[in-house]
Chains A and B, each alone.
Chain A
Amino acid sequence: MNNQQNTPTIKKAFINAVKNFISTLPMIIAITALIGLFQTYITPSMLSNLFGFSDISDTLIGTFTGAISSGNGAVSYVVAQGLQDQGVSFYALSAFILAWVTLGFVQIPAEASIFGIRFTIIRNILALISTIVISYLAVITTGIFI
């Protein structure tokens, strides 16, 4: 009996899901609007001008620019392809793509409002470190196999 009372109907589950989604709508709209501005003012050609110094600085720049850029993941690959044509290192390219998807300075306020500041800071620092380490490890490991 008690178990039956605790089990939600599909209708209740749906209403809860919709409510939950609606509650995050202001945040989603705000982030998307901010991304619109970023895409207007920070163009791929601006990003590519930042590269081309050394592997280390390119990796850091790749991480940073990936983190401040936002939008569809496919765009990061298109930008990365352009950077590759310019001779930017694999370290920087992989850092750029990883940071684009896993970091996101734009969504930090939203992440903090949902999961808390402590969680957001720890997660983003961990993701930042992982991105740089993975970029190097992946290039080195690939070098062993090829």
Chain B
Amino acid sequence: MKKIEFKGVKFLAIISFIYIILFIFDFENGLIGLQKFLDIITKLLPIFIFIIILTTIINYFLQPKKVMKHFGKDSGKKGIFYMLMGGTLSHGPMYAWYGMLEDMRKNGLKDGLIVVFLYARAIKLPLLPFMVEIFGIVFTIVINIYILIFAIVQGKVMDIFKNKNIEKIDTKNKKEEKMAEKVLACDNEICKEKDNCERYRLFKEGAKEYKTHNGKEHKGCGQFIKNTK
């Protein structure tokens, strides 16, 4: 059976330590903080149950392949739409959803869509009447449209960062592969540097693995290795 890997244990240790210190030096406020904590966690219980049920449904119906299809690299507008809807309809604090999102991310959910979901949560359907009362109906409509637009924009920007990072890693891996590549001989007869190059010497001496690098009459190939003999 797979072992559970707890997240945020160090963070919890630090917070517990702060509470201990508070109980020693500021008992009254420490106790108020603890009561508020218990209040919040009690109110969150139904949301936790809802999230467990939702995660079960996602685990059951959305196999990794389907997650990839609807929320992965090529999910397109449909993925954005689902995440906007999900973010708008989701209740409770943001951190309560981290576990479910992490699970989906492991199965292919792309980072841009996580960003879309998390920002779309700024729209709080049950609190809209409050918003109308404070800001008026026009402002409420306008700001909520902007939230949706900016959620999409942020998702796109995150994907650009992500792709750049992947490109960087690819380039690094390619470089490392090249470095690790064994020295091949070169049969490039027209290279300017051929008489000074170890690769050409190896080819002349009958090396079995060889290829033509891009040396020209007026320049070397750029992978020139000084002849040791």
Determine whether A4 belongs to the interface, using a CB cutoff of 8 Å to chain B: no
- Chain A residues in 8 Å Cβ range of B22: 37
Interface hits, B109-138 → A, CB 8 Å: 111, 114-115, 118-119, 121-122, 124, 127, 130-131, 133-136, 138
Main secondary structure of the interface of B (DSSP, over half): helix
Question: How near does chain B come to A102, taking the closest CB pair, in angstroms?
Answer: 5
Cβ–Cβ contact B118 & A37, under 8 A: no
Chain B 141-162, CB within 8 Å of chain A: the 1/0 string? 0110011001001100110010
Tell which of B44, B95, B161, B165 touches A107, judged by Cβ atoms closer than 8 Å: B95
Tally of chain B residues near chain A (CB < 8 A) = 76
Cβ–Cβ contact A104 & B94, under 8 A: yes
Name A141's closest neighbour in chain B (CB-CB): B142
Determine whether B6 belongs to the interface, using a CB cutoff of 8 Å to chain A: yes
**Given the complex of chains A and B, what is the CA–CA distance between A110 and B134 in angstroms?**
32
Cβ–Cβ contact A33 & B127, under 8 A: no
Determine whether A45 belongs to the interface, using a CB cutoff of 8 Å to chain B: no
Determine whether A86 belongs to the interface, using a CB cutoff of 8 Å to chain B: no
Determine whether B75 belongs to the interface, using a CB cutoff of 8 Å to chain A: no
- Chain A residues in 8 Å Cβ range of B222: none
Name A19's closest neighbour in chain B (CB-CB): B4
- Chain A residues in 8 Å Cβ range of B35: 36
Tell which of A8, A17, A18, A138 touches B139, judged by Cβ atoms closer than 8 Å: A138
Question: How near does chain A come to B66, taking the closest CB pair, in angstroms?
Answer: 11
Determine whether B103 belongs to the interface, using a CB cutoff of 8 Å to chain A: yes
Chain B 42-62, CB within 8 Å of chain A: the 1/0 string? 011000100111011101100
- Chain B residues in 8 Å Cβ range of A8: 59-60
Cβ–Cβ contact A17 & B8, under 8 A: no
Tell which of B32, B63, B154 touches A6, judged by Cβ atoms closer than 8 Å: B63
Cβ–Cβ contact A27 & B98, under 8 A: yes
Name A18's closest neighbour in chain B (CB-CB): B52
Chain A 44-80, CB within 8 Å of chain B: the 1/0 string? 0000000000000000000000000011111001001
**Given the complex of chains A and B, what is the CA–CA distance between A13 and B138 in angstroms?**
44
Tell which of A16, A36, A127, A134 touches B59, judged by Cβ atoms closer than 8 Å: A16
- Chain A residues in 8 Å Cβ range of B9: 26
Interface hits, A26-43 → B, CB 8 Å: 26-37, 39-41
Cβ–Cβ contact B55 & A115, under 8 A: no
Determine whether A117 belongs to the interface, using a CB cutoff of 8 Å to chain B: no
Cβ–Cβ contact A122 & B33, under 8 A: no
Question: How near does chain B come to A96, taking the closest CB pair, in angstroms?
Answer: 11
Question: Could you write out 5 A-B pairs with CB less than 8 Å apart?
Answer: A8-B59, A20-B103, A21-B99, A26-B11, A110-B8
